């Protein structure tokens, strides 16, 4: 088996319109596709049982129009879930690359986004980055990272 590429990351949200405003207006994404279905043929074909009615949208970013895509889903009957904490099993954080970390930080603060602290420089494996964490409208942890050029 050889994996070709990451296609999308699914984020369940409590209010699709609010999340679309955040991921598009605030973060600069664009809606590639929207849907509203009374049932999900895909989930039913995969063996999922239960109410699969939902509203959804694929959000893409200009420099990567083919993905990876953020697949926002608002279920008609959502589970009792909560955003995962940093140590929880699952996907507790989504990292997104930006070209200017300081500008991104200021823009999120200007929008009133919950930011956990200013950008910090650190080593990640063989790379040096500047990064910070913030939350989407449902409390999902996001990271903005700028890869630094070697000196």
pLDDT tens, residue by residue, 12-65: 999 999 999 999 999 999 999 999 989 888 788 888 888 888 899 999 988 776
Q: What is the mean pLDDT of residues 104-133?
A: 94
- DSSP assignment of 100-131 equals -HHHHHHHHHHTT--B-S--EEEEETTEEEEE
Task: Give the three-state DSSP class for 63.
Answer: coil
Looking at residue 131, its pLDDT comes to 95
The residues near 127 (Cβ < 8 Å, ≥ 6 apart) are 147, 148
What the chain holds in terms of domains, given with CATH numbers, is 8-75 (3.10.180.10), 93-147 (3.10.180.10)
The DSSP bridge partners found for residue 37 are: 54
- pLDDT tens across 79-92, in order? 877 778 778 878 88
Whole-model pTM? 0.86
Specify the pairing of strand 8-12 against strand 69-75.
Answer: parallel
Predicted confidence (pLDDT) at residue 151 exceeds the cutoff of 90: no
């Amino acid at each position: 088996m050889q994996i070709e590429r990451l296609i999308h990351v699914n984020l369940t949200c409590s209010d699709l319109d609010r999340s679309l405003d955040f991921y598009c207006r605030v973060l600069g994404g664009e809606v590639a596709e929207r849907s509203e279905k009374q049932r999900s043929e895909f989930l039913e074909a995969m063996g999922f049982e239960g109410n699969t009615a939902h509203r959804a949208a694929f959000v893409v970013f200009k420099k990567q129009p083919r993905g990876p895509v953020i697949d926002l889903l608002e279920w008609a009957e959502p589970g009792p879930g909560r955003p995962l904490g940093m140590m929880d099993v699952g996907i507790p954080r989504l990292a997104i690359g930006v070209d200017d970390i300081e500008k991104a930080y200021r823009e999120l603060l200007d929008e009133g986004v919950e930011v956990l602290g200013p950008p910090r420089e650190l080593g990640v494996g063989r790379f040096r980055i500047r990064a910070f964490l913030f939350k989407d409208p449902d409390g999902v942890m996001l990271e903005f990272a700028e890869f630094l050029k070697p000196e």
